[in-house]
Amino acid sequence: MLDANHPMVVQTTSHIWDGDIQEFNNLPPRGWWRAFYATVVFSVFYWIVHPAWPFGGDYYTKGILNKIEYQSQGVTVYAHWNTRALLLHTLQQQDGAAGRKEYLEKITAASPREIVADVELMAFSRSLAKRLFGDNCVSCHGNNVANASFGGAWFAGGIGLEGFQQTIENGIGAGSRGGWVMPAWKNRLSVPEIKALAVYASQLSSARTEPTDKK
Amino acid sequence: MVPTEALAYRAASQPERYNYAIVRGFTVMALVWGVSAMVVGIYLAAELIWPILNLDLPGLTFGRLRPVHTTLAIFGFCGSLLFAASYYVAQRTCQERLAGTLLPLVTFWGWQAFVLLGVVSELLGYTQARKYAEFEWPLDVLVVMVWLAYLWVYTATLYRRSQPPLYVANWFFLACLLGMALLYVLENLVVPVDVLGMKSYSEFAGVQSAMVQWWYGHNVITFLLNMAFLGMMYYFLPKQVGRPLYSYRLSIIHFWSLVFLSVWAAPNHLNWTALPDWTVTLGVTFSVMLVLPSFAGVINGLMTISGAWHTLRTDPVLRFFVAALLFYGWVTLEGVTMSFQTINALSHCTDWTVGHAHFATLGWVSMMSFGVIYHLVPRLWDTKLYSVRLVALHFWVALFSVVLLAAALEIAGIGQALRLRTTDEYGNLVYSFMETDAFLTVPYLLRGLGGSLFLVGALVMVYNLVITVVRAQRKRAATEARIAAKLAVKGLRPREG
Amino acid sequence: MKHEWIETHTSHFLILTLLVISIGGLVEIVPLFLIKNTVETVAGVRPYTPLELLGSNIYQREGCYLCHSQMIRPLQEEWLRYGHYSLAAESQFDHPFLWGARRIGPDLARVGGKYSNTWHIQHITAPRSLVSRSRMPNYLWLKDRPLQYSDIEAHLRALVRAGVPYSENQEQYDKNVALFGKDVANRLVISRARENLLAQVAGNADGNVVSPTEMDALVAYLQILGTLVDFKKYDEGYFARFR
């Protein structure tokens, strides 16, 4: 019964079950233990640099040598590695974050009319608003007058850029609890997001039937 | 001629040495639930493509039907096959009849009632809203009692053995039995609203409830889908190939490392959630340490065939075992990959996870099951398979459709996930949610096709097995009639059974 | 060989296996109850009102959690799309948690206040009339089915046993006033559950109080999701300090 590929002398354990089931007692293939130890070493390393082990009562190891830097209220914080600090770090310091922040600040400062007038700002504004419109507005207003399912009246236009901005901010009938028609977005979206959406929506309304939703 | 036939007849009419009736019952029910699970799965896949198929009927909506699919697959199919295989293996390796006469029947009818009532209650909307633990508390009480009966029958059978060492397959079944008992009881700690009603509230809330749920959910996979089916591998594979198991030593390493390490990988299901990061770290590292122990099982299985690879050409049943082990290895590697934060950020909440689950359930669990069933049925009915060529056909259809179905889902998941995070040159998101959803159209069709093909394969199996059993019974009846006729000529009567 | 000692004695085997299985769960679950940082200290999160609670039950009954998550992850793309990541504190009164694990539809952790009640009713009844490629079933029956609330007190009492602070007596009521303020505390009084429920239905769009429907409850529940914490009160790094 010996295997030509494994010349090492192996014997069965001399037990027989159900008439013919026997067991050899080969060693695990060479390298198996080494690879297993490697995963253990990797894990130990991982535990050192991440929050890992709870130790009695209220304490758990936080991890060392793996600090994450972020700004909070103008102060630089160095936190132990954790997913929430990592998010702040990404939002604040990844490539392009500074440029994006600058654009957002410009939009916050500008009036909708100024945004429209500034080609560069307008390009950013449109990029910001397009996805927001898709996730937040399309399910009522459609992306053109033909498929506005819930609130088609807005395509009539005539309320001007500021009108759009105010409507998005405050909604329609938002005072009457539960009875509102359009929700107020000022607590859900940031100021630049609302302005960008106002500009986007007004242009959509003047274009009337131009489909913008990439299908 | 007469004496031999008469002897055979007498042997057959004596009470069976082993309790095969119960094994037959569970095997048949595994097939019934398995095919039902596939049908429901295909219907669900179709509902996602054509929502009109929900038919505006509460019981047919995706949300109510999805738990039915998992219940049928996990508890109906895998559960019934676990009972069948463990009862068979325990009897064969201990060379003793199954303990008890009434209790095995209690486990059979109790389990079938549990699955059936579980499905019906899910269709009616009774649910604990936790995956694989949807059953409301009265059903929990039922299933815990059935499980205790199972534990008694199984261990009592093991206690009857005369050979002290316990064959390794039984270790895995025992671990499954104990693990599931522990998990199920803790997961289902609830406060019923009314002792006469179904509704209850989970004892745990929020983050703790999430962790208990995924400790349970992950380890249902560990114990019911991995340990139980590895137990089957350890018995049926050496038996089918007719060679000794590669290594007893490796079985010991495999078993204990798996039992210890698997449990810890549960937090992987809650990566990036409000679960604290320390818990996730433990999940990630333990699943890394789990890779080599899992491979130990794959090695132990495949090396057992080593030296007899040529049998794969003539024995399609063995092919199922080999494919299952390869899928098991693949799923392990993929699972570890998905546990890492960077990858999980992409895969979580998408069809990638669903694809991974189907590589495991169709690739590993079902392929293993099919091999086991093809091995069992001829022995349980004392006959030969009707058609080995149909087995080969089933194998290739199953293999192709698993890969098609699971790969389509993984592509769907990765594609949608990449769209969800796509930003333009300004750092703004490009796609709205529904625009990312548009990516799914083609993969969903392919998934439906893969699932349908998998069902076709299973139906080929069912056909093959039905003919096998029908022929066996006809042959037996004919033999009995002939003996009776010959005995009648000599003025004798067949002995009463 | 030493292993024989284990495998030749079935009882040794059983006990040892059970011990080995238990360790992982013990180490990973028990500390979640002990470590205080697990659930963030934050104002605003309160137990569900009777109507919202029944809404959550309908959400569970219809399996909404299978296609919608309620867990915004601390990732850039989710921050931009869904808003502030979900806190453990926000689901501290969910028995069980409803974080979900698959998004066939979008995340709902902050859906509260995003749409009007009428929008929700139409969307739940006929999703494709609003989102043309939606994969969601039509839940036609919810707006016609009367809400079963006759045993609402039993529901609240069961939750009290699971640790949710609905108040049965003056002492518990006073505690709730201190925790959540008077308005909320009033809505958590078990003996006033029915009148509170009807009062909340009256605030809904259709104003039909005579026969509250399952839709009333479900929409009330959806409208509260993710709205309880005022994130403007906390600096950027505040919640990171709990991890």
d(CA B169, CA C21): 18
Give burial (CB, 10 Å; 0-12/13-18/19+) of A4: exposed
Alpha-carbon span C117 to C135, nearest angstrom: 21
β-bridge mates for residue A54, sequence order: A60
Q: What is the largest CA-CA distance in chain B?
A: 100
Q: What is the pLDDT of residue A212?
A: 46
| CA–CA gap between residue C120 and residue C232 (Å, rounded) | 27
Q: Are C103 and C69 in contact, with CB atoms under 8 Å apart?
A: yes
Q: Is residue B495 assigned to a domain? A: no
- Select the residue of C79, C116, C130 nearest A181 (Cβ to Cβ): C116
Task: Identify which of B170, B226, B265 has the alpha carbon closest to the alpha carbon of residue B364.
Answer: B226
Q: What would the two tokens of residue B151 be?
A: 């534990």
Residue percentage of chain B with pLDDT more than 90: 93
Segment B357-374 shows an average pLDDT of: 98
- Average pLDDT along chain C: 94
B202 touches chain C (CB under 8 A): yes
3-state DSSP helix/strand/coil % of chain B, to nearest 5: 80, 0, 20
Q: Which burial class, exposed, middle or buried, applies to C11 when counting CB atoms under 10 A from its CB (0-12, 13-18, 19+)? A: exposed
Which of B160, B148, B34, B193 lies closest to B92, judged by CA?
Answer: B160
> What CA–CA distances, in Å, run from A173 to C206, C209, C215?
15, 21, 22
| Mean pLDDT confidence for B388-405 | 98
Q: Map residue A21 onto helix, strand or coil.
A: strand
Number of structural domains, chain B? 1
Asked whether the CA dihedral C122, C128, C132, C133 is positive or negative, the reply is positive
CA distance B465 to B453: 18
Task: Assign residue B422 a region (left: φ > 0; alpha: ψ between -120 and 50; beta: otherwise).
Answer: beta
The per-residue pLDDT for range B312-345, each reduced to its tens digit, is 999 999 999 999 999 999 999 999 999 999 999 9
In whole angstroms, give the CA distance from residue B444 to residue B412. 7
List b or e across B41-70, with b for residues whose CB sees 16 or more CB atoms inside 10 angstroms: bbbbbbbbeebeebeeebebbbbbbbbbbb
pLDDT value of residue B400: 98
Q: CA B394 to CA B370: how far, in whole Å?
A: 9
* Inter-residue long-range contacts of B267-270, CB under 8 Å, 24+ positions, other chains counted: B267/B211, B267/B214, B267/C28, B268/B218, B268/B335, B268/B338, B268/B339, B268/B344, B269/B214, B269/B217, B269/B218, B269/C101, B270/B210, B270/B211, B270/B214, B270/C99
Taking phi over 0 as left and psi of -120 to 50 as alpha, with beta for the rest, B176 belongs to alpha
Residues in chain B: 497
Choose among C38, C66, C139: nearest Cβ to B207: C38
Interface contact A178, partner C, CB < 8 A: yes
pLDDT at residue A210, as a whole number: 44
Spatial separation of the C-alpha atoms in residues B227 and B176, rounded to whole Å: 6
In three-state secondary structure terms, A24 is strand
Tokens describing residue C100: 């979900």
The pLDDT of residue A2 is above 50 = no
Is B26 an interface residue toward C (CB < 8 Å)?
no
Q: Which helix (H) or strand (E) holds B444?
A: helix B441-489
Name B92's Cβ contacts closer than 8 Å, sequence gap at least 6. A17, A18, B18, B235
- How far apart are alpha carbons B232 and B431 in whole angstroms? 47
Query: How would DSSP label each residue in B75-144?
Result: IIIIHHHHHHHHHHHHHHHHTSPPS-SHHHHHHHHHHHHHHHHHHHHHHTT---SSTT--S-HHHHHHHH
Mean pLDDT of A8-36: 86
Interface of A with C in 42-81 (CB under 8 A): 51, 54, 57-60, 70-73, 77, 79
Length reported for chain C? 243
Instruction: State both tokens at B282.
Output: 């433990």
Tens of pLDDT, residues B29-81: 999 999 999 999 999 999 999 999 999 999 999 999 999 999 999 999 999 99
Check if the beta carbon of residue B274 is closer than 8 Å to that of residue C78. Answer: no
Q: pLDDT digit string (tens) for B97-139?
A: 999 999 999 999 999 999 999 999 999 999 999 999 999 999 9
DSSP B349: B
Whether residue A36 and residue B289 make contact (CB cut-off 8 A), yes or no, is yes
Cβ–Cβ < 8 Å for B323, B367: yes
Distance CA A69, CA B405 (A): 43
- CB interface of B with C, residues 134-173, below 8 Å: 155, 158-159, 164-166, 171
Tell me the pLDDT band of B488, cut-offs 50, 70 and 90: confident
The answer to whether B327 touches B402, Cβ cutoff 8 Å, is yes
**Rounded distance between C-alpha atoms, residue C52 and residue C34, angstroms:** 29
Distance CA C6, CA C15 (A): 10
For chain C, the first-to-last Cα distance in angstroms comes to 47
Q: Partners for B (CB, 8 Å, 3+ pairs)?
A: A, C
> Residue A122: closest CA among chain B residues belongs to which residue?
B426
Alpha helices (runs of H) in chain A, residue ranges in sequence order: 32-49, 83-93, 97-109, 112-117, 119-136, 138-141, 160-170, 191-207
CB-based contact, B430 to chain A, within 8 Å: yes
Tell me the C-alpha distance between B196 and B415, whole Å: 48
Q: What is the ipTM of this complex?
A: 0.96
Domain-embedded: residue B416 = yes
Please answer whether residues B349 and C100 qualify as being in contact, where contact means their C-beta atoms are separated by less than 8 angstroms.
yes
Domain ranges of chain A: 111-207
For the record, the structure tokens of A201 come out as: 């929506």
Residue with the two structure tokens 């064969």: B92
A169, two tokens: 């901010």
Query: Using CA atoms, how far apart are residues B31 and B39, in angstroms rounded to an integer?
Result: 12
Q: Measured between alpha carbons, how far apart are the two ends of chain B, in Å?
A: 21
Contact C95 B282 (CB under 8 A): no
Residue A4's pLDDT is 47
CB atoms within 10 A of CB B259: 26
Q: How far apart are CA C14 and CA C3, in angstroms?
A: 14
Q: Which residue of B has its CA nearest to C71?
A: B273
Whole-angstrom Cα distance, residue B344 to residue B336? 10
Residue B323: CATH number of its domain: 1.20.210.10
- Is residue A206 very low, low, confident or very high in pLDDT (cuts 50, 70, 90)? confident
The predicted structure's pLDDT at residue A158: 62
Instruction: Please state the rounded mean pLDDT for residues A59-73.
Output: 92
Q: Are B287 and B336 in contact (CB under 8 A)?
A: yes
Residues of C in contact with A85 (CB under 8 A): 237, 240, 243
Average pLDDT over residues A167-176: 78
Write the Ramachandran bin of A19: left for phi over 0, alpha for psi from -120 to 50, otherwise beta.
left
Helix (H) or strand (E) run with residue A70 in it? strand A68-72
Any chain C CB within 8 A of the CB of B401?
Answer: no
Query: B161 Cβ partners below 8 Å, 6+ apart?
Result: B93, B94, B95, B96
Sort B376 into a burial class: Cβ within 10 Å, 0-12 / 13-18 / 19+.
Answer: buried
Residue located via tokens 């909506």:
B61
Which residues on chain C are in Cβ contact (under 8 Å) with A135? 81, 106
d(CA B372, CA B37): 18
Tokens representing B357 are 């689950």
pLDDT in tens, C119-135: 999 999 999 999 999 99
Using an 8 Å CB-CB cutoff, list chain C residues near A138: 131
Domain ranges of chain C: 3-34, 50-242
pLDDT at B370: 98
Q: Does A17 contact B430 at a Cβ distance shorter than 8 Å?
A: no
Helices marked H in chain C: 3-7, 10-34, 50-61, 76-82, 117-125, 152-161, 170-180, 182-187, 193-202, 214-224
* CB-CB contact of C240 with A85 (8 Å): yes
Contacts C113 to A, Cβ<8 Å: 183, 187-188
Instruction: Answer yes or no: is pLDDT of C225 > 50.
Output: yes
Residues contacting residue A83 through CB under 8 Å, at least 6 positions apart:
B272, B277, B341, C73, C74, C243
Would the pLDDT of A184 be above 60?
A: yes
Residue with tokens 């979580």: B348
Looking at the domain assignment, is residue B245 inside a domain?
Answer: yes
Mean pLDDT, rounded, of chain B:
94
Assess if residue B111 is contained within a domain. Answer: yes
Asked whether residue B233 carries a pLDDT value surpassing 70, the answer given is: yes
| Matching CATH number, A111-207, of 3.40.720.10, 1.10.10.350, 1.10.760.10, 1.20.1250.20 | 1.10.760.10
Which class in CATH covers the domain with range C50-242? Answer: mainly alpha
* Confidence (pLDDT) at A161: 86
Q: What percent of chain B has pLDDT over 70?
A: 96
Residue of C229, C241, C212, C239 whose CA lies nearest to C43: C229
Q: Which positions in chain C touch A59 (Cβ < 8 Å)?
A: 35
Using CB atoms, pick whichever of A60, A72, A135 lies closest to residue C35.
A60
Chain C residues 110-169 with CB within 8 Å of chain B: 127-128, 131, 133-141, 151, 154-155, 158-159, 161-164
Residues B375 and B371: their CA atoms lie apart, in Å, by 6
Q: Do B273 and C139 touch (CB under 8 A)?
A: no
> pLDDT-based confidence at B304, cuts 50/70/90?
very high
A59–C35: do the CB atoms touch at under 8 Å?
yes
Q: Does C208 touch chain A (CB under 8 A)?
A: no
Give the span between the Cα atoms of B419 and B417, in whole angstroms: 5
pLDDT over 60 at B477, yes or no = yes
